[in-house]
Amino acid sequence: MNFKDNFSDCSNGGCVPVFKQKNVPVFQNKVYPTVEEAKMALVADVELVQSLRSGFVFNKIFNPDLMNYDINYQNEQSNSLFFQNHLKDVLRLLKTLGIGDKKVVEIGCGKGVFFEIMLEEGIDCTGFDPTYEGNNPRIIKEYFTEEYSDINADVIIMRHTLEHIPNPFSFVHTIAKANNYKGFLFVEVPTFDWIVEKNAFWDIFYEHCNYFTESSLGSMFEEALTGHFFGGQYIYLWADLSKLRREIPEMVINRKNNLNFDAEVERYRALLSQNKTTAIWGAGAKGSTFLNLMDPEKKQVQYVIDINPLKQGKYIAHTGHPIYSPDILTEKPVENIIIMNENYWDEIKSRVGNINMYKL
């Protein structure tokens, strides 16, 4: 199928500015073994624009040559019971869509957690991801490319992958072509609508070159089922690959005006200036972004807490904030804790007792 990738076409004034940020760590989900290495972490600029054709928001100055996803990349959230329940919700949804007896390929399967859950349910799976650390022979430790033209999948799954890939419409066509434009595609990504609604300045990352809404995600197909979950932070798409458009038609879009995070930034600056000891809970992308914007000199936040043991004992990119297990609260108590993801509020509250908690 010949196609024209006009999903992110900015020619002839086809895009409007949305947001700019300089010196953002390239990898929010990489943590470093020493302060020195953390402070040397690579940074780059973000310049978000929105296509007036598709509504798609993306970083128009994103440089894919800077990206090197390796075994040091840690974005696993499954240590959290709340997130484990989310994975179960995703699997239940997929089962209702009919994947139980199908041949499934998961592109960007990460550390293989969801992949292993599917295997335990008896689903026939093959996975692709260069950051995979395990030894399951069903997972190929490579990026998915056109070379894999014989996958013959009934269902192709991409969870938190498409937001990292430049020219996502072209990539979806690469997948569809490798599968002879047959089968179904399931995509899970963060939603830009949640960022706008929450004024979530901490949720814009260099790693994410793409920012989707249900409307822009679905616009790639003639027909698609979309929805949201994970407290409204994530959206999904289920679509027949034979319904993939050849080009994006003109649409009536919900235009995103220039984002203004000033009020939200000032609120947290006031909190951090209270001369109280403060910790951040969450050493993932949200935590890294928040610290780089709010405490780049490491003067106001004492440390970061994370329940992922692979992050503990490491340091946040560019700022060098140390990362500890929750046990640090006994040894070095703090007066305030800022929770990087509100979804984990109840889970964290049960562990910290009477410490003041604030959620983004």
Strand duo 234-240 + 184-190: pairing: antiparallel
**Gap between the Cα atoms of 127 and 129, Å rounded:** 7
pLDDT 10s digit of each residue in the chain, 360 long? Answer: 788 888 988 877 789 899 999 989 999 888 999 999 999 999 999 999 999 888 899 999 999 999 876 656 666 666 788 889 999 999 999 999 999 899 999 999 988 999 999 999 999 999 999 888 899 999 999 988 888 888 889 999 999 999 999 999 999 999 999 999 999 999 999 999 999 999 999 999 999 999 999 999 999 999 999 999 999 999 999 999 999 999 998 876 777 766 778 888 899 999 999 989 999 999 999 999 999 999 999 999 999 999 999 999 999 999 999 999 999 999 999 999 999 999 999 999 988 888 999 987
What are the DSSP calls for 266-299, one per residue? HHHHHHHTTS--EEEE--SHHHHHHHHHH-TTSS
pTM here is 0.90
Q: What CA dihedral angle connects 195, 296, 74 and 172, to 10 degrees?
A: 40
The type of residue at 180 is N
Res 67: pLDDT: 87
Q: How far from the centroid of its chain's Cα atoms is residue 332's Cα?
A: 31
- Please name the residue that has the structure tokens 């128009």: 60
Domains within the chain, CATH numbers bracketed: 70-242 (3.40.50.150), 262-359 (3.40.50.720)
Res 87: pLDDT: 94
Res 218: pLDDT: 96
For 43-70, the pLDDT digits (tens) are 999 999 999 888 899 999 999 999 876 6
For 75-131, the pLDDT digits (tens) are 666 678 888 999 999 999 999 999 989 999 999 998 899 999 999 999 999 999 988
The type of residue at 104 is V
Q: Tokens standing for 127?
A: 């996975």
Res 73: pLDDT: 67
Res 204: pLDDT: 94
